[in-house]
Amino acid sequence: MINKSESIKHIAGAIVKFQSKVETLKRTAANPFFKSNYTTLEDIVGAIRPILAEYGLSFMQNTNGTMTGDVISVSTMLLHESGEFIEFEPLQIKITGNVQQSMATVTYLRRYSLQCALGIVTEDEDDDGNVASGIDKTSAAKGGNYKVTPKQLSRLYAIGIKKGYDANGLKALSKLDSLNDLTKEQYDKLVHWLEQRPDAQVGA
């Protein structure tokens, strides 16, 4: 569930200014297992931190869950120098692997939680997250009824913010208790509906 300050007037305006200035981030790292490239968390933070500071924004991230055999979740909170804040619904993945895989998953979730909170767009392919999340590329390609992935949630939140819907608004549209329970078909329908809506007009 999203948690926010009583007023978000200043932080909303700052986020709009941030999004108007931040550029699409380049792919900077290679995943040899899937022969693909992606944008690292370090590069994302390095690119956005000066712009965040320019508009009085910062962020905090929190990890919940054990390192093995459990659900790991990461939440991101955006803060504004006015004291306003928005804390977004956690992204989560069930872990069954070793500690190294668990740490990779934490990094993966931190990256996409931050991207969805700020509406950051990267040129990456999502294959770097398949190892961490346990998603099988073959079954996904067959269009199976798998649950929404962190990459898809990131895109959904980014579209939602642009269209004026926070996490609660998106959950209301989905009619689910958690957006993590979205199936591929539900996700596709919700994204299609949102993309037909006009962009939100948020004042500074």
163 by DSSP, 3-state: which? helix
Residue 203 within any structural domain of the chain: no
d(CA 190, CA 84): 29
Residue 179 within any structural domain of the chain: yes
Residue 159 vs residues 6, 86, 135: alpha-carbon distances, Å: 23, 17, 23
Residue 56 within any structural domain of the chain: yes
Tens-place pLDDT, residues 183-202 = 888 888 888 888 888 876 54
Task: Confirm if 37 and 120 have CB atoms less than 8 A apart.
Answer: no
Residue 139 within any structural domain of the chain: yes
Residue 110 within any structural domain of the chain: yes
Tens-place pLDDT, residues 117-153 = 888 877 644 444 444 444 444 334 444 455 677 667 7
Tens-place pLDDT, residues 43-90 = 889 889 999 999 999 999 998 765 545 678 889 999 999 999 999 888
Residue 148 within any structural domain of the chain: yes
Q: Which two tokens stand for residue 60?
A: 């905090």
Tally of domains within the chain: 1
Task: Confirm if 102 and 72 have CB atoms less than 8 A apart.
Answer: yes
Q: Which domain holds residue 66?
A: 3-195
Phi/psi of residue 20, nearest 5 degrees? -75, -20
pTM: 0.57
Residue 44 within any structural domain of the chain: yes
Task: Confirm if 14 and 80 have CB atoms less than 8 A apart.
Answer: yes
d(CA 99, CA 174): 34
